[in-house]
Chains A and B, each alone.
Chain A
C-alpha cells in the first residue's frame, strides 16, 4: 500500500491578513507561512497507517514555487518517506492542481491519496473532489475517521447534519478534517534526518498540464469593518440593551 499526500504552503493560520493597497491581493511578503492545517492531519494519518504496518510508503507532494519545498520538508520530518515538488509560478487554481496531481498519480500509482479538506487561503474546498473526478476514483470528503478494510476504506465524514459513514473502494481520495487526528510535532533529530530524504523536482510544464488561471481576479478588498461596540457593566444592563436598544429579544 502506497499513500500519496498532497500538501499546500499557505499563510500561517495565526497571521492577521492584510489586503494590498492596490487591491491586487493580500500581502505575502515577510509573512509567516506554514502547511495548510488540515494537510497536517492528512500527513499524520498516512504516517499512522504506515506505522501500523498497513502501508509501506508515504509520498508527500506539493504544487507551488521553490519555497513550497519547505512544506514537503516538514512532511518528511514527521514521517513521509520522500517528496515531490511540482514547480509552478503564480496562482494555481484547484482545477490545475488536480490536473497536475492526476499526472503524479499516473506516475506514482498510489493506492490512496490524502489531502486537507480545504486550504485556508483561497477557501475553495475543491482539489480532492476534482482529482477524484479526473481519476474516476471514489471520494471520501471531510473525513474524521478512517478504517482500513481489505480492499476498501470505511470513512466517517463530518456533515452539516452530524456524521455520515461511507465505504469507498481502493484506490480512493480522502480529504481530511481537522478532527481526524492530532498532528505530531517534528523532533529535532527527525528534522535533521528529513534533510537527507529526497525531494524530486518536476516542472508543471513538463507534465503537459495547462496551469493558467481561468478565473479573473478583478479585485481584493477588506471586509466591511464592524462598528466598535460597548462594554456593559452588568447582566441587567446587557438584557436592557438587548431589549430596548438592539430590540432583538
Chain B
C-alpha cells in the first residue's frame, strides 16, 4: 500500500499544486512516493525530498522529459505501477492530460477531480459543475485519482529528507513533439493560489477596460480572473478563465465585476470564503452567491473602490 504521486514542475522547481496533491496523497496512505520525470531536474527531486510527507522520491532525469508529453510520461508510470495501490496527481491541465492515458493502459476506471478523501478507496467529487457531489468507491486493484488542488492545503516544503532513487527512462515515442509554450509571465500571485482574486466579465466591454481591474488588483495584491465570456471576446487571455472548464479558485476574497454568474462560472469560484459582486443588473445570478452585492455601474464603482482602498491605513497582503 503506497501512493505514487506524479510531480508537476518546470525542471527547476515543483509547481505549487504538487504540494496540495501531496497532502491529499498522504490522506490516502502515509507512504507517499513522488515521481519526478524531468530533464536537468535535480533541484526538483531535492525539493520533493524535503517535503516531510514524502517517504521516497523517484527521479528519472532524461532529456525526453524536458516537456510534458503524456505519450512519453505514461510508459514510466505504467512500469512503476506494480508496486503501488494508488497513482495520484493534480486535476489541472497537467494531470487531466496525463492520468487517463495511464489509467486506460492499466485498465483502471479513473476517479477525477476529488475534493475529499473519505477512505483509501472512497472519494468525494463534484459533478455537473459542482451542482451535485458524488461519493464514489473505486474497486480497481490500482486506483488512479486526480486531486482538485484547491480542496487540500499545501504540504509543508521543509523538514523532510526522503531518499532519492534514480530510475531509468521509459520508451520514448515519436508520436508527438513539443513545439512551443507561450507562458504569460506576471509578477502577480498565481490565480490558483492567490489570497484575493478580482475577475471581470462581459460587462467590462473591452480589453482596455481591464485596466480598471488591474489597478484594484495592484492595490490588493490580487490575481486577475475572468469569465468565459470575457476570454471568448478576446478581452483577456485564456489562462485567466475561472469556471467549470477553466480554473477553480478558492481565495479568501473573490470580487466578480460585470459577471452575470452563469453556473459554469460559479463552478470555479463559489467555494471562495468571501464573495463580492459588482453588477448593474440587480437580478444577476451572481448576487445569489455573493456575501456582499453592490448594484452599480462598474465604471463608476471600480474607480471609487480604488479611491476608498487608498484611504485605508493598512491593507492585508
Contacts and interface: CB of A to CB of B under 8 A. Distances in A.
Interface of A: 11, 13, 16-17, 19, 26, 38, 93-96, 98, 117-118, 120-134, 136-142, 144, 154, 157-169, 177-179, 213-223, 226, 228-232, 234-236, 238-239, 241-243, 246, 248-249
Given A154-B179, A162-B237, A162-B239, A124 B305 contact: no
Given A226-B289, A230-B292, A231-B295, A218 B180 contact: no
B23 interface: no
A233 to B, nearest CB: 8
Contacts of B237: 162-163
Given A120-B244, A160-B92, A229-B293, A220 B132 contact: yes
B291 A239 contact: no
Contacts of A125: 96, 100, 112-113
Contacts of B275: 226, 229
B27 to A, nearest CB: 18
A138 B97 CA distance: 12
B70 A139 contact: yes
9 contacts: A17-B128, A26-B127, A121-B128, A131-B104, A161-B183, A163-B237, A178-B232, A179-B232, A234-B294
Interface string B273-317: 111100000100001111111111000010011011100100110
A76 to B, nearest CB: 26
B12 to A, nearest CB: 14
Interface residues of B, number: 93
A162 B133 contact: no
A120 B264 CA distance: 9
- Closest 4 pairs (CB-CB, A-B): A129-B100, A130-B104, A138-B175, A214-B109
B52 interface: no
A168 B294 contact: no
Interface in B70-109: 70-71, 74, 92-94, 96-105, 107-109
Contact of A218 (B135, B231, B304): B135
Nearest to A247: B316
Interface stretch (B31-39, B57-65, B199-207, B245-253): B245-253
B126 to A, nearest CB: 7
A19 B139 contact: no
B289 to A, nearest CB: 5
Interface in B136-190: 136-140, 173-184
A168 B176 contact: yes
B127 A232 contact: no
